[in-house]
Amino acid sequence: MISVSGDVYLIIGGNGFLGKVIVKLLIEKVHDISEVRLFDKVIQEDHVESLQALVGSRVKLTMFKGDLRDKEVLQKACQGVTCAIHTASVIDLWGKVSKEEMETTNVEGSHLLLETCIQQNVKCFIYTSTVEVVGPNIRGDPICNGDEDTDYISEQTTLYSKTKYAAEQLILRANGSPLPNGEQIVTSALRPMYIYGENSRFMLHDLDVGIINGNVLPRTSRKEALVNPVYVGNVAWAHVLLARAMKEEDKKRIVGGKFYYITDDTPHMSYSDFNHELMHFLGLSIPSKLPIPLLLMYFIAYIIDMLWLLIRPFIKSVPKQNRHFLMILNTKFTFTSHKARNDFDYIPLYSWEVAKEKTTTWLASVIQERREFLNKK
C-alpha cells in the first residue's frame, strides 16, 4: 500500500465512470486515509453500499450531493480536505448541450471549485483534462507517439474542447497560489486518451448501435487512423500516483503546474477496430472499409453542419455526425506517458490482457439486457 497519513480526499464526480474507480483504488491502495468524500449531482445508493462494505470502519465515507456551481455545498465539501480530484464535466461532442451550460459547468464551476479549495487550505488539486484539448486540429494533422513537448498547432474546435482547455489552464496557472494558512496549493492536470472499460456509456452506445444494425458495428474510421485508448483503471491509478507525488517535497515542485498525457499498453488501432476487438466475441462484425470515401463523408458532414446551423433555433435534435467528430475518428493521434513515468512514477496498474478481460466480461454481462431494452423501444 501507498503510505499516506490521515489524508482527506474529495472526488468531484465521484459517482461517475472514472470517479468510481479512483475512489475504489484510493480505498484499496492507499494507507491511512482518514476520509474519502464523493461529490456528485447524483449519488447511487448501491454504489455507496458497495463502498461501505469495502472500507468497513477503516475509512470514513461522506457523500455530498450537489452541483459544481453551488457555492454553499462546495464550501462544506472542501472543509478539511487534503487533496481534491476534479473529474466532473459536461461531455458533448455533438452540440446537444447549450453553450451556457457547457461554460458555466466546465469553466465557471471549475473556477469556483478551485477558489473554494484555496479558501479552505486544500493543498493539492488534480484536474482530469482530456487529449481533446490538443486536437486533432481542423486540418487533421496527425501525431505519432507525441508527448508534452510535441510541437502541434492545437485548435479547440468544439465547446467541449474549448471549455476543458480553459478550465485546465486556469487550474494550472493557479499552481503555487498562497493559501490562508501560509502554504501554497499544488495543481496539476492529466490528459488521458479515450477512456474505455466497465460501465463506459460510450461503449454501451456503440454496442447498442451494433445491435440495432443487425449485429454489425458501423465503420466510421479508417484502419490507418491509429489511436491509443487507455483503460479506466490505469487512468484512475495515475490520479492516485500523482496525488502521492504532490505530497513529497522533491516531487511536488516537479509536477506542480504541469499537464501529463496518460496512456497504457492498449494496442494502437482505429476507434472502429478497437470496438470490434472488444465486441467481436459477442457476435458483432464490422465492414473492412468505410461505406463511402472519406472525402465524401467530410463533404456530407459539412453540408449537414451548415443546414443544422440554419434550422438549429427551431429543432431540438442534433446530427449524429459532424466534421469534428469525423476528424477525431479518422486522424492518427497517439501519445506516450514517458513524462508521467519520469515525474511521478506512473506505470499502468493493469496490463492490456487484464483490461481486455475485465472489459469484455462486463460487455458479456450486459449484452442480453441491452438487446431486451432495444427490442422494447
Domain parsing of the chain, residue ranges: 2-283+327-376
CB of 127 closer than 8 Å to CB of 86: yes
Q: Is the pLDDT of residue 57 over 80?
A: no
CB of 189 closer than 8 Å to CB of 261: no
| Residue 4, pLDDT score | 43
Structure confidence by residue, pLDDT tens digits, 308-349? 778 777 776 677 778 888 999 999 999 999 999 999 999 999
User: Counting beta carbons within 10 angstroms of the beta carbon of residue 368, is it exposed (0 to 12), middle (13 to 18) or buried (19 or more)?
Assistant: exposed
Overall size of the chain counted in residues: 377
Q: Which of 27-36, 138-147, 202-211 has the lowest mean pLDDT?
A: 27-36
Task: Establish whether 160 is a catalytic residue.
Answer: yes
| Residue 95, pLDDT score | 73
Q: Which CATH code, of 3.30.1360.40, 3.30.565.10, 3.40.50.720, 3.40.718.10, is assigned to 2-283+327-376?
A: 3.40.50.720
Q: Is the pLDDT of residue 2 over 60?
A: no
| Residue 306, pLDDT score | 84
In degrees to the nearest 10, what's the CA dihedral of 7, 8, 10, 11?
Answer: 50
| Residue 156, pLDDT score | 74
Catalytic hit among 9, 127, 152, 160: 160
Structure confidence by residue, pLDDT tens digits, 128-155? 999 999 999 988 999 999 999 999 988 8
Mean pLDDT of 233-241: 98
Could you tell me what percent of the chain has a pLDDT over 90? Answer: 76
| Closest to 78 (Cα-Cα) out of 43, 44, 123 | 123
Residue recorded with cell 479518422:
330
Count how many Cα atoms sit within 13 Å of the Cα of residue 349 in the half-sphere of its side chain. 16
| Residue 5, pLDDT score | 52
User: Counting beta carbons within 10 angstroms of the beta carbon of residue 6, is it exposed (0 to 12), middle (13 to 18) or buried (19 or more)?
Assistant: exposed
The DSSP secondary-structure symbol of 267 reads: P
Distance in angstroms (rounded) separating the CA atoms of residues 296 and 314: 28
Mean pLDDT of 218-239: 97
The DSSP secondary-structure symbol of 16 reads: S
Q: Is the pLDDT of residue 1 over 70?
A: no
Spacing of C-alpha 12 from chain mean position: 12
Pick 377 or 82 by higher pLDDT. Answer: 82
